[in-house]
Amino acid sequence: MKLLIALYFFILATIQLGLLLGIYHYHRSQSELRPNPYWMGSLVVNVIALLIFGGGILVIEGLQKPEFNFTVANSLFYIAAVFQLLFCKSLIGPVSKRLQYSFALSSIIFVPTFEFLRVYGSYEIRTAFMCSIGVIFFSWQIMMLRRKRSLEPSQQLMYMQYATAIELFFSLCRLGVLVSTGFTISQVEQIPQLLILLTIGQLVINTLSYIALGGYWAERVALANAKSNSENVEIKALLSEREGLISRLLKANKTVATGALSASIAHELNQPLGASFLNIQFLQKKLAEGSLSAEQNQEVLSALLSDNQRAANIIRSLRSIFSEGRIGAEQIEVIELIESVLKITKPEIQSKNIQVVLRVSSSALVNVNRAEIQQVFLNLINNATQALADSDATPRILKIESCNVSGGVEILIVDNGPGISADAQPHLFELLAGSNKKSGMGLGLWLCQHIVSRHGGHIHYDDAPDGGAQFVVFLPATQE
């Protein structure tokens, strides 16, 4: 009889150990989703408890005061049930530290309590004690599983819920058999066959509940893998789309750069070509009248040569600007740069009756590319001249000032014209976005910012203190 009962326990321990080893092997192959430590711990402890209990039955002398290993085995059964209960609790939310400490304390209290019952109690009391704990735990476990399944349907959790309900039924039946037994059980042979059957049946169902838990984890792994595969497909699609977008952006960038260079060349060449056109018309007129003097001829040819040279310099400068190569900077006085630009714009300024107020320090030095920075000042002065031409201000004043600041020089170009509207100011330096024929603002200002930035400086717009527009250019004294 004892050998048969012990064999039942060893068989169930072997089945659960096989389940544990299979899960552990699978567990090591998974990196994303790990088994819940509560039910893994419960399975480990339960296997040990079955082996100890089975071994204890083989050497037991009597049921009135069995050996101490029954206290150890039943304590482990209790701890395994606690772990399984905590697993069910973790399904619906985090297990609080308070609950963990409470169950840890209850496990500590259980050991001396059962030891007292082993020494002073009877088989019936000990069995009824364990069945009562089982009824409480199984009832609580069923409620948590039902709550979890209402939130997230799961076939495996449904199996576990049914298995737990059967365990609860078997525990109640064992209590009923104990109550109905009319004699004291002191030997293993005296245990009613029905009670043995119910006990073994409960352990078998308990094994099925662990299998259901393993199935639930495998179910979660399968879902996680499916989700991971789906995400991988999406990521690959996004990466492919990203590569395509980058390729298209590179092509677009080249197109924009080419377009910007072409537009810049056209924009900047308008000035020397326009001047050349006027000089050629003047030359044709004088030749037609036959009144062209040698002095006038020399003056017009010099002007045409100068405009041609300026056009060539503009093309060279713009090519170097968009090549992002070396700037070719040199130490130059700011006054020299401003005066060279004013010499070019002098006819236009005089024709518009504009007064120039020049307050530039002769000692202010910047380390820049002469042709590029001349282009910046030429654009800004032409913009101011055009704004003043459309202004009713009297007198029309163009101020050019410089001041030494930390790290370089600030040059202010100020006019008392109509200024720039608040709506247009945020887009002044955007490529073609702020083009306005009336004000002349557009590509020129974008190019100014591009050139100044290449030199490590910056440019910004302010409303002039006395009304009008004020552009502030900062150029560093040295180049990196």
Report yes or no on 280 lying in a domain. Answer: no
pLDDT value for 318: 59
Sites in the chain below the pLDDT cut of 50: 434-442
- What is the model's pLDDT at position 260? 52
- What is the model's pLDDT at position 438? 43
Q: Given this model, what pLDDT does residue 437 score?
A: 45
**Whole-number Å distance between alpha carbons of 422 and 213:** 69
Q: Assess whether 208 and 350 both reside in one domain.
A: no
Q: How many CB atoms within 10 Å of residue 217? A: 20
| Tokens 């104990």, located at residue | 178
- Tokens found for residue 44: 């480990």
**Domain tally, the chain:** 2
Q: Do 103 and 219 reside in the same domain of the chain?
A: yes
Task: Kindly report the length of the chain.
Answer: 480
Considering the domain architecture, whether residues 203 and 347 belong to the same structural domain is answered as no
Three-state SS at 85: helix
Q: What is the pLDDT of residue 29?
A: 58
Find the domain containing 82 and state its range: 2-238
118 found inside a domain:
yes
Contacts of residue 214, defined as CB under 8 A and 6 or more positions apart, other chains included, come to 19, 22, 23
Residue 163 one-letter amino acid: A
For residue 278, being part of any structural domain is answered with: no
| CATH number of the domain where residue 453 is located | 3.30.565.10
Q: Which of residues 238, 260, 282 is at a domain's end?
A: 238
At residue 434, the pLDDT reads 47
Give Cβ neighbours of residue 126 (< 8 Å, ≥ 6 apart). Answer: 74, 114, 117, 118
Tell me the one-letter amino acid at 62.
G
Pair (80, 199) in one structural domain: yes
Is residue 168 within 8 Å of 142, Cβ to Cβ?
A: yes
Q: Give me the half-sphere count of Cα atoms (radius 13 Å) on the Cβ side of residue 235.
A: 6
Residues 11, 145, single domain; the answer is: yes
Per-residue tokens: 108: 């500590």
Does 189 reside within a domain? yes
CA-based nearest residue to 381, from 393, 397, 392: 397
Kindly give the residue spans of alpha helices, DSSP state H, lying in 152-192. Answer: 155-180
Cα distance between the two ends of the chain: 96
CB-based contact 401:359 (threshold 8 Å)? yes
Assigned token pair, 234: 């999406």
Residue 52 belongs to a domain: yes
| pLDDT at residue number 264 | 54
Euclidean distance between CA atoms 440 and 142, whole angstroms: 81
Same domain? 189 vs 70: yes
Instruction: Decide if 428 contacts 461 (C-beta within 8 A).
Output: yes
User: Where is 412: in which H helix or E strand?
Assistant: strand 408-415
The pLDDT tens digits for 430-475 are: 765 544 444 343 457 888 888 898 888 999 999 998 889 999 999 9
Same-domain status, 209 and 343: no
Which one of 214, 238, 262 terminates a domain? Answer: 238
pLDDT at 263: 58
Q: What is the pTM of this model?
A: 0.49
Pair (212, 337) in one structural domain? no
Q: What pLDDT sits at residue 34?
A: 61
Query: What gap in Å lies between CA 401 and CA 3, rounded to an integer?
Result: 110
Q: Is 349 a domain residue?
A: yes
pLDDT of residue 233: 82
Among candidate residues 212, 238, 264, the one where a domain is terminated: 238
* 149 shares a domain with 50: yes
**Token duo for residue 255:** 């197109």
Q: Are residues 32 and 147 located together in one domain of the fold?
A: yes
Q: Are 63 and 202 found together in one domain?
A: yes
Are 61 and 204 contained in the same domain? yes
Q: Tokens representing 447?
A: 């190019």
Confidence at residue 355, expressed as pLDDT on a 0 to 100 scale: 92
Residue 22 within any structural domain of the chain: yes
Residue 184 CB contacts under 8 Å (≥ 6 apart), including other chains: 122, 124
In a domain, 18, yes or no: yes
Reply yes or no: is the peptide bond before residue 418 cis, omega within 30 of 0. Answer: no
- Going by the DSSP 8-state scheme, the letter that residue 436 receives in this structure is B
